[in-house]
Structure 1
């Protein structure tokens, strides 16, 4: 019988520069729960990209913690926008229940040019984004995907591939109103800004 619960920790690094800047980093964390880091403006700045409940729940003692022999490195992803957080609530708690899908690392979620009419909410893991053979920044939990196919010509505008094990919620496009999708799509034209 086990009487001790697993440990939870977050390791933060703060670098203070001579010009007065302060740069924070999430450098280590327990594999569960998800770790969120907020900036000086009280906005979500970064978060852990993966959670692993099974490993965390099976942890025995302090050996793989900062109080033992090691800290656990953490995969950090950019934080989703406030609009994406609002939309994720509608996808998960709105009228119709989304379909939850799991993908193994290396699996393709959608391919550029294929027809598509559903939205995706990335629940866990990291997706790589490829547009016309060009890699764009990776996406992490909280990202809403697929809105451009819904708003534009019904074709996927990027290939999304799981770089880690991934869980996504797939929902019909009418879960979110088109005006909100249009605002989201404006911020998702990352390939235009890299041209």
Structure 2
């Protein structure tokens, strides 16, 4: 039986479920395009949508979180070592997010994100941050975001090498541009290419 441990995240203060050893059977790695309003877990006492509504595989667990109101790539595995590599800050695994924000960030705001800012749980690591056009392959969100007619929106590509609770949202708000929509596009060497919302596929990892 796969044993689980909980480890306290020093940045968030939360306990996270981790797989504490290598799997007995073959390593399994699943890529899932998590839709909006789906919890990144398999059970929920409140009856909300979870991974169980989409993924039939058992014995795998999410490597890191992707909040209910965020979308995009979620990696699930039964391999504790891989889970640690993808989630623990010392490994500095890159995570790319496509972020729709309210307003149009100027150079000063982007530079603050790139050099690191101080949040209430301490300074962030330097991050990649650049303005981009809205991706032409992007699916519409259901429900749509709430836009204010008098305020334009724009998109930023943000690359993080750590993973704190709601970090991207807190970072963009800190520099004056609240996040309206958040999509994780890639993690490590995997990305969303070829996965529609709610779809998953199993991949090999050597």
TM-score of Structure 1 vs Structure 2, range by shorter chain: under 0.3
Higher relative contact order (CA 8 A, sep 6+): 2
Q: TM-score, normalised by structure 1?
A: 0.25
**Looking at CA atoms only, which structure, 1 or 2, has the larger radius of gyration?**
1
- Normalized per residue, the structure richer in helix is 1
Q: TM-score, normalised by structure 2?
A: 0.24
